[in-house]
Amino acid sequence: FISSLVVKLHWTLKTLLFPHTIAWQNEFNRIWDTLRMQEGEIRGLKERGARLPALALPTKFSGEASKFHVFRRQCQAYLEARQAEFPQEDVKVAWIYSLLDGPAATWATALYDAGSTHLSTAQNFLNYLRKTWGIEDDEEDTSTP
């Protein structure tokens, strides 16, 4: 009788708990593998970040035509050197916007508020900035920052 009861109990536990135990173990292993992979990616990003040279931020631009060419080139150089930090165009545009001052910042704020398509890429934004402020001596650049 006892051996029969043990067999039934064993079968019941195996039937009810074992599939769930395997499912939980599989889920745990999947999550663990994902965490280990992400930990490696984070470590790699930190190592690469530690090797980046220090770069000065571009000088703020307030709308003075004579200073735009240098401002644009500084922005492009910085974005190129720090590509990993600027993975998306909206991040690039927001960064350039943060470097505007005075009348240029007021103008750009109106673009943001209006949801302008000129903010779709960093290059579009820089080209529209050049055209809006009447900067004719600076050739239009179609390269991607």
Domains of the chain, by residue range, sit at: 1-51, 65-132
For 52-86, what is each residue's pLDDT tens digit?
A: 678 899 999 999 999 999 999 999 999 998 888 88
Weakest mean pLDDT among 23-27, 30-34, 73-77, 114-118 = 23-27
Q: In whole numbers, what is the pLDDT of the chain averaged over residues?
A: 79
Entry pTM? 0.60
Among candidate residues 53, 69, 49, the one with its CA nearest the CA of residue 61: 69
How many C-alpha atoms does 96 have within 13 Å on its Cβ side? 32
* pLDDT greater at residue 24 or residue 79: 79
Helix (H, G, I), strand (E, B) or coil at 61: strand
* pLDDT greater at residue 63 or residue 6: 63
Dihedral angle, C-alpha 33, 34, 38, 41, nearest 10 °: 70
Q: Where are the alpha helices (DSSP H) in the chain?
A: 2-51, 68-81, 89-98, 102-114, 122-132
Among candidate residues 68, 65, 91, 63, the one with its CA nearest the CA of residue 79: 91
Q: Is the pLDDT of residue 138 over 80?
A: no
Q: What is the DSSP letter of 101?
A: -
Joined together, the tokens standing for residue 27 give 């889920």
pLDDT, residue 34, reads 76
* pLDDT greater at residue 80 or residue 30: 80
* pLDDT greater at residue 48 or residue 118: 118
Most distant pair of Cα atoms in the chain: their distance:
100
pLDDT, residue 52, reads 64
